[in-house]
Amino acid sequence: MGNRTPLYESHKAMGARLVDFAGWEMPIHYGSQIEEHHAVRRDAGMFDVSHMTVVDLHGGRTREFLRYLLANNVDKLQDAGKALYSCLLNEQGHVLDDLIVYFLTEDNFRLVVNSATREKDLAWIGRHAAAYDVQVVEQPQLAMIAVQGPRARDKALSLFNAAQRQRIEPLGLFYGAEVDDWFVARTGYTGEDGFEIMLPDVEAAAFWQALADADVRPCGLGARDTLRLEAGMNLYGTDMDETVSPLVSGLGWTVGWEPADRDFIGRKALEAEREAGPAQKFVGLVLEGRGVLRGHQKVIGGSGEGETTSGTFSPTLGRAIALARVPADIGERCQVEVRGKLLDARVVRPPFVRHGKAQIELDAG
Amino acid sequence: MSDVPGDLRYSKSHEWVRVNDDGTVTTGITDHAQGLLGDLVFVELPEVDHEVEAEEACAVVESVKAASDVYAPIAGTVVEVNEELNDAPEAVNQDPYGAGWLMRLQPSSVEDVERLMSPDEYQEYIESE
């Protein structure tokens, strides 16, 4: 039996099909993955993401520690509650994990890392934290619910009292706030507006039910994957891992190069790679005809071969889409090998969909 | 609870077979199979006149989650495929034994159908899986 979140019984009661995900019994869907996907694009959906690992860092030198630990620069975080997306790199400049860091106070930053990499991350962070006298405290008692979609904020806000709403309503994009012993952030993994809400595990089931009563549709990890792919957001373990750098994973924008004298783990290797010019680049693909793209299919284009890193059928576009690592000189078109056949695809710049709208031309040329 | 109609025969790989009056057989995937696959978004069918062996992978159904082979429940020649599924693969989810049929075969030997599972046997089979 796998780990269960505080919402396990709620999922069963709501008809979820449960699957193993990184050792957790998680809902893949509650009947129809596609309808759940559309609910998030058009209205509001909610996801149990309590399996994710929340880690609090405490100590007077926490900022200094994170300047060294993370590829992105935490000095971009000057306002309390502000969040930053970053890669965690090893000395080779390869990706150990991706994470969100929240600036709470100068002696308390909060990290949210992937559950599949939990042990590796905790060991890595703990090993480097010691030199900075930073305490690494996991917060396993926190459940996490993501409420996403154009109507997600309104529906979620209706469940808070006036004083709480005053804290939550003004939150800008990528800001969070402590609200009593909850933490509410205007972040997500779908390309839609909404909140990610961390709350004590004992309160999770009641809040989940209240959201359902407010017509927020329960959505499984299946829809979460198609939504994030349409939004052009990477998934650790398939789009990038310990064998590649952020520069060939579409994550060059998350590397805080400036100031040039900030030493961070992996910097030297990344600088050398940037200097040499990466041999590959990370792009979006749209299949021209019928079929479905999947991760790790061969891509033929430019001066050689690459591969899709994840692919799916996009419910919003009605087309197969993929993220792919391909030769740097790829043109506007390529071919993907699907079950022994070469299918024509167009190279695009992700995202494919944001805020319910297609971001790419479907029939260019 | 999956629907298992009483007038069909079933394969272990979750295809159903209906014997038509003209001696051909119609096949598709069962309600149980479509439930496991989830929302179908693409169906790849064989060419008409293609000869299939029993248990040969001859079609592919793809859901948002994964691609899955469909096996010929018996040997025969493909005489018709359900072209409607090109534009409406969701018919397999909505009506797996009706509008969601996949192909029609001229069996090499119609007795082969008798070797497939009866509805009761199939019901028991999916409950034990």
Q: Is residue B37 part of a domain?
A: yes
Let me know if residue B87 belongs to a domain: yes
Asked whether the beta carbons of residue A33 and residue B60 sit closer than 8 angstroms, the reply is: no
How many CB atoms within 10 Å of residue A175? 18
Percent of chain A with pLDDT over 70: 99
Dmax (CA) of chain B: 37
What pLDDT digit, counting tens, does each position of B60-95 carry?
A: 999 988 899 999 999 999 999 999 999 999 999 999
Say how far apart CA A225 and CA B64 lie, in whole Å: 10
Predicted confidence band at B110 (pLDDT cuts at 50, 70, 90)? confident
Work out the angle at residue A65's Cα, subtended by the Cα atoms of residues A59 and A68, and round it to the nearest 5 degrees: 175
Give me Rg for the CA atoms of chain A.
20
Chain B nearest-CA distance from A209, in A, is 25
Please write the tens of the pLDDT for every residue from B11-36: 999 999 999 999 999 999 999 999 99
Average pLDDT, chain A: 97
Alpha-carbon distance of A9 to A25, in angstroms, equals 11
Tell if the CB–CB gap between B64 and A34 is shorter than 8 Å: yes
Shortest Cα–Cα distance, A37 to chain B (Å): 11
A34 chain-B contacts, CB cut-off 8 A: 39, 41, 64
Is the CA virtual torsion A211, A214, A219, A223 positive or negative?
A: negative
Q: What is the mean pLDDT of residues A275-296?
A: 96
What is the distance in angstroms between the Cα of A169 and the nearest Cα belonging to chain B?
35
Of A291, A312, A339, the CB nearest to B64: A312
Name every chain A residue with its beta carbon within 8 A of the beta carbon of B62: 291-292, 313
Cβ–Cβ contact A29 with B under 8 A:
yes
ipTM: 0.83
CA pair distance B106, B3, nearest whole angstrom? 26
Average the pLDDT over A232-237 and give the result: 98
Asked whether residue B1 is domain-assigned, the answer is no
CATH number at residue B36: 2.40.50.100
Q: Does residue A21 sit at the B interface (CB-CB below 8 Å)?
A: no
Find the closest chain B residue to A313 by CA distance: B64
Per the domain annotation, does B72 fall within a domain? yes
For residue B4, being part of any structural domain is answered with no
Identify whether the C-beta of residue A204 lies closer than 8 Å to the C-beta of residue A145: yes
Distance from C-alpha of A337 to C-alpha of A305, rounded to nearest angstrom: 11
Torsion sign, CA atoms A82, A86, A89, A92: negative
Max Cα distance, chain A (Å): 60
Q: In 10 A of CB B73, how many CB atoms?
A: 28
Cα B26 from chain centroid (whole Å)? 8
H helices of A78-160, in order, are 118-129, 152-157
**Residue B86 sits in which domain range?**
10-128
Name the token pair of A153. 């904020």
pLDDT exceeds cutoff 60 at A365:
no
- pLDDT at position A364, please? 53
User: For residue B28, is it within any domain?
Assistant: yes
pLDDT, tens digit, for every residue of A148-201?
A: 999 999 999 999 999 999 999 999 999 999 999 999 999 999 999 999 999 999
Do the domain assignments include residue B3?
Answer: no
Q: What's residue A95's pLDDT?
A: 98
Say yes or no to pLDDT of A232 above 80: yes
How distant is the Cα of A1 from the closest Cα of chain B, in angstroms?
18
Which of the 8 DSSP states describes residue A82? B
Q: Counting runs of H as helices and runs of E as strands, what totals does chain B give? A: 3, 9
For an interface test with A, which of B64, B83, B90 has the most A Cβ atoms less than 10 Å from its Cβ? B64
pLDDT per residue over A200-224, tens digit each? Answer: 999 999 999 999 999 999 999 999 9
**Res B129 pLDDT > 90:** no
**Structure-block tokens of residue A192:** 């839609």
- Predicted TM-score (pTM) of the model is 0.94
State percent of chain A over pLDDT 90. 98
Chain segment A76-123, per-residue pLDDT in tens: 999 999 999 999 999 999 999 999 999 999 999 999 999 999 999 999
Chain-chain contact of A32 with B86 (C-beta, under 8 angstroms): no
In a domain, B88, yes or no: yes
Number of independent structural domains in chain B: 1
Q: How confident is the model over A46-80, as pLDDT tens digits?
A: 999 999 999 999 999 999 999 999 999 999 999 99
